[in-house]
Structure 1
Amino acid sequence: MKYSTITIATERIRLTVLAAGGPRILALHLDNGPNLLAETPAARWQTPWGEFALLGGHRLWHAPEAFPRSYWPDLDGPPAEPVEHGVILRSAIDPGGIAKSLTVTLDPQQPRLHLRHALTNHGLWPVEIAPWAITQLVPGGLAVLPLHDAQPPPNPLLPNRQLALWPYTSLPDPRLHLTDDALLIDTALAGPPAKVGTHSAAGWLAYIHQGVVVVKWAAYQPTGIYPDRNCNLEIYYDQGCTELETLAPLGHLAPGATITHDEIWFLAPWSVPIDRQDLFKHLSKSVNELV
């Protein structure tokens, strides 16, 4: 099934988004290169409300995840609204009373985007919820999950790194490479679906593939309680895609209220090989200069 789309672009970046509903970003190109986002036409599930189609690319989710609530078919919705240098994408109101919106703004001068994810409660009672930004990238690259923010620990007697593993993540996994500072995931190697997460003050994730590095950054909130055993950064990977995921803290969303979660994406050509032990330091320095 074909869906109507809209293209927005600058001299460096071109995005394709759904023209209505979703919200979904379906394609991301840097300097007329290939689509960096995964396409998943076969990823579909039957729900009490009909078929949910994933499509691939970038989507707005909300935590905690549950079936079938999280998989409400959302491709029918209001039309996209153009804004200066971008677009606002909106969903219809789901059976739980939640409506999603995604405002995408392109930087006209450099290859970066600002994404504001918003959830609004149109129901009659408060809900505990967290916005969750999921980006499916084409498989075959190297994903970087930072375990800390490159700052000296305030108390060296307390732990400053942690990992969460999903039940279907089988260990040992030859795709995983643990350094002092980050977990690296080589998705060019074949293997079953897996997912890892962390609670990290770094606030960013990175993916290197096809001569491009993609970095997603979201402000870390040290007093917040995050979903999934307090994870603010998560990576899912299988043979069809690699997902970079950032989450906001859980909050009680009152009727009529809206909660937001902002991301900044940076894209840059990547051609110089860097030793895996130095990769975290190089990316941390670049992120600190760009945020």
Structure 2
Amino acid sequence: MTYPTLSIATDRLRLTVLAAGGPRILGLQLDDGPNLLAETPAARWATPWGEFALLGGHRLWHAPEAFPRSYWPDLAGPEAELIDNGVILRSAVDPGGIAKTIAITLDPTQPRVHLRHTLTNHGLWPVELAPWAITQLAPGGVAILPLHDGQPPANPLAPHRQIALWPYTPLPDPRLHLTADYILIDTSLSGPPAKIGAHSPAGWLAYLHHGVVFLKQVTYHPDQPYPDRNSNLEIYYDQGCTELETLAPLLRLDPGAAVTHDEVWLVAPWSSHIDRGDLFKTLAKMVAELV
């Protein structure tokens, strides 16, 4: 089944989004290159409300994940609204009273995108949740999850790196490489589904594929609790896609209230000759130039 879409573009970037409902970003191209986002037409699950279709690309959920709540079918909803240099995507209100919005703005001069994710509680009761922005990328690349922000630890006698592992993550995993600065995941290798997260002040994730780096950056809130054993950055990977996931802190969202979670994306050519020893510093420098 196909769904109506529309595109927004600059001289460097093109995004394809669902024309209604979702919200979903289905395509991301740099300089007329291949779609960097995963396409997952076969990923579908039965739910009490009908079939949930994943589609691939970028979506907004709210954590913590639970079935069937997280898998409410959301492809029917308001039409997308075009704005200057971008588009606003909206969902219908889900059975729990939550509505999702993604406002997307393209930088007119740089291959950069700003996304504002918003969850609004239209229900009658407060809901504990956290905005959760998930980007599914085409498989076969290398994902990078930074473990710190490059600053000296405040107390060298206290731990300053925290990793969370999901029950289905195999160990040892030949796709997974742990360094002092980052976790590197080579998704060109075959293996079962896996997921890893971290509590990291770095506030960014990266993916290297097709001679391109896709980098997403968020604000880190050091004094607020995050879902999933306090993870603010997560990566899921399997044969069909690699997901870069950022989370906002958990909060109690009262009826009528809304919460936002901003991401900045950068898409740029990437040299395969960069040494792994320089990888963290190179990507961290790119992030610093984003903000």
Q: TM-score range by the shorter chain?
A: over 0.9
Aligned residue number for residue 160 of structure 1 = 160
Q: How many residues align?
A: 291
1:68-79 correspondence runs (5 A)? 68-79=68-79
Aligned residue number for residue 236 of structure 1 = 236
* CA–CA distance in structure 1, aligned partners of residues 30 and 285 of structure 2: 22
- Aligned-residue Cα RMSD (Å) equals 0.6
- Please tell me the residue identity of whatever aligns with 1:20: A
Deviation at 1:237, TM superposition (A): 0.2
DSSP-derived class of the 1:73 partner? coil
DSSP-derived class of the 1:92 partner? coil
- State whether structure 2 residue 111 is matched by structure 1 residue 107: no
Aligned residue number for residue 254 of structure 2 = 254
Aligned residue number for residue 15 of structure 1 = 15
- Please tell me the residue identity of whatever aligns with 1:11: D
Deviation at 1:272, TM superposition (A): 4.2
8 Å CA contact 2:211–2:272 kept in 1: the answer is no
Per-residue Cα deviation, 1:110-130 (whole angstroms, up to 9, x for no partner): 000000000000000101010
Aligned residue number for residue 119 of structure 1 = 119
Aligned residue number for residue 143 of structure 2 = 143
Per-residue Cα deviation, 1:38-96 (whole angstroms, up to 9, x for no partner): 00000000000000000000000100110000100000000001111000000000000
* CA–CA distance in structure 2, aligned partners of residues 124 and 162 of structure 1: 36
1:187-266 correspondence runs (5 A)? 187-266=187-266
- Judged with a 3 Å threshold, the aligned counterparts in structure 2 of structure 1 residues 272 and 191 are, in CA distance, closer, same or farther, namely closer
8 Å CA contact 1:100–1:119 kept in 2: the answer is yes
Aligned residue number for residue 28 of structure 1 = 28
Deviation at 1:277, TM superposition (A): 2.4
Structure 1 segments of 4 or more deviating over 4 A? none
8 Å CA contact 2:264–2:290 kept in 1: the answer is no
8 Å CA contact 1:111–1:266 kept in 2: the answer is yes
Aligned residue number for residue 90 of structure 1 = 90
The TM-score, its normalising length taken from structure 2, stands at 0.99
8 Å CA contact 2:204–2:233 kept in 1: the answer is yes
Identity %: 76
Aligned residue number for residue 180 of structure 1 = 180
Structure 1 stretches lacking a partner, 5+ long: none
Structure 2 stretches lacking a partner, 5+ long: none
* CA–CA distance in structure 1, aligned partners of residues 224 and 217 of structure 2: 17
DSSP-derived class of the 2:286 partner? helix
8 Å CA contact 1:132–1:248 kept in 2: the answer is yes
DSSP-derived class of the 2:150 partner? coil
Deviation at 1:265, TM superposition (A): 0.2
- Please tell me the residue identity of whatever aligns with 2:189: L
- Please tell me the residue identity of whatever aligns with 2:212: V
DSSP-derived class of the 2:280 partner? helix
8 Å CA contact 2:221–2:249 kept in 1: the answer is yes
Per-residue Cα deviation, 1:138-164 (whole angstroms, up to 9, x for no partner): 000010000000011111111111110
* CA–CA distance in structure 2, aligned partners of residues 129 and 74 of structure 1: 18
- Please tell me the residue identity of whatever aligns with 2:170: S
